[in-house]
Amino acid sequence: MIQGEKIRYEIHKILFSIFRFNKNLNDLRIKKKIEENKKEDIAFLINVTLASMRYHLHTLKIIDKYIKKKIRDHEKILLISAITQIVFLNFKEYAVINCSVQIAKKLKLYPGLINASLKNIAKNKLELKEIKITYDDLPLWFKEKTYSITNIEKKRFLKNFYKEPDIHIVFKNIKSLNLFEDDLIKTSSISGFLLNKKNITEKKSFIRGDWWVQDFSSFFPLHNFEIKNKKNKLLDACSAPGGKAFQILSRNIKIILNDKSKNRIKILKSNLDRLRYNPEIKNKDFLKFKEDQKFDTIILDAPCSSVGTIRKNPEIFFKKNAPNLEELNVLQENMLKKASRLLLKNGFIIYMTCSFLKCETFDQIENFLKKNDNFVLFNFKLKKEFNSFSRFIDKNYMLTFPDNVLEKNIDGYFAAYLKKIK
């Protein structure tokens, strides 16, 4: 086996299972397969796998340009990975081509086709690096669900969706931020973008539990939300991995954390241990919560397509199958209904999704308000330190696309404050 072939074969198998069988990179079996590799190989594997998915629409255009015959899924995945390495990651061409030919032989594909195509592509890699994606190149399901967004929003999305995400961190308090040992681009008095993204878990402040990673868009709605009475009863309905709950706990306010997934609860507990927080945790289906306990505020970060996190989760576009939006919309509606029953009068539901699709955001809230005249959409009044981000507020909704803030990338996100008035 030639050098690099084994790890590239592992990458191919992972990409194929994501594409064909609707898997995710955080799937337990895939994570286990990744962890079986040598430490130095894991970084290579993750880098190539993520880049292959981020650039797969670009590479498909390149494939169409150089290969006119119909190719099978295994050939397509092998070419996507190889072209990404040659054109976009600038790896040594001969190593990538040789390994890809050997993998083609192992998979009983056409090694001659792989070899000739990749050599032709490699000759023109500088030109091909500049290939552009248009809105027509995006998945059909996505185009159908974003028919109403403006041309400016489409251009913004096309400019950002395939780029590597930046790392935004949130501190327990101002003192922790001031003691931080590295450079930051501040986004608030307790948050900012990391300038050095390497070895973040080895930083003393991380080990000490001074901060956690949380995207700016996810951080924004809760940091902007004021809780005047610290004795209020709060629930985070879908809490793991915990960022939003940590925001509340850092204010010395009690909150019950819940998540349906046992595996996600493990991640949540690990994060809580590092941060030295010890709240009450439940591992229940939120829809089955008993309604004898009521809350003043319910944070509902509802399950969704996650399309706003496309840079972190590029498999959303890479998978052969579209997300089941009908099923997700029903779940979101039912969770809102459940939250309304668990809420005290004058209480708040903070509804959030890491999506910007109308069916998961505006439509859900408008539908809920039509059916529940005892709720109103509460004013999304910005704190002074967020005044420069007013473009994210529209008619008392907060909405971001995968975008750029302070020259750093943020996720697409939606939030609304719903108040129970009777």
Tell me the two tokens of residue 103: 């993998």
325-367, pLDDT tens digit by residue? 999 999 999 999 999 999 999 999 999 999 999 999 999 999 9
**Of 29 and 10, the one with more pLDDT:** 10
Q: Name 74's Cβ contacts closer than 8 Å, sequence gap at least 6.
A: 12, 16, 107, 109
Tell me the two tokens of residue 122: 């490699």
Residue 282 scores a pLDDT above 90: yes
**Strand ranges inside 86-189, DSSP E:** 168-171, 184-188
3-state SS class at 132: coil
Measured distance CA(376)–CA(65) in Å, rounded:
53
Percent of the chain with pLDDT over 90: 88
Measured distance CA(101)–CA(124) in Å, rounded:
19
Measured distance CA(76)–CA(56) in Å, rounded:
10
Q: What is the average pLDDT across 223-235? A: 94
Per-residue model confidence (pLDDT) at position 40: 82
Residue 127 scores a pLDDT above 90: yes
Q: What is the pLDDT of the chain when averaged over all its residues? A: 95
Tell me the pLDDT band of 1, cut-offs 50, 70 and 90.
low
Per-residue model confidence (pLDDT) at position 381: 87
Residue 37 scores a pLDDT above 90: no
Measured distance CA(157)–CA(152) in Å, rounded:
9
Residue 385 scores a pLDDT above 70: yes
What one-character DSSP code corresponds to residue 216? H
Per-residue model confidence (pLDDT) at position 95: 95
Tell me the pLDDT band of 32, cut-offs 50, 70 and 90.
confident
Residue 285 scores a pLDDT above 70: yes
Q: What is the average pLDDT across 411-420? A: 97
Domains contained in the chain, CATH given: 5-128 (1.10.940.10), 201-420 (3.40.50.150)
3-state SS class at 213: strand
Percent of the chain with pLDDT over 70: 100
80-98, pLDDT tens digit by residue? 999 999 999 999 999 999 9
Residue 3 scores a pLDDT above 80: no
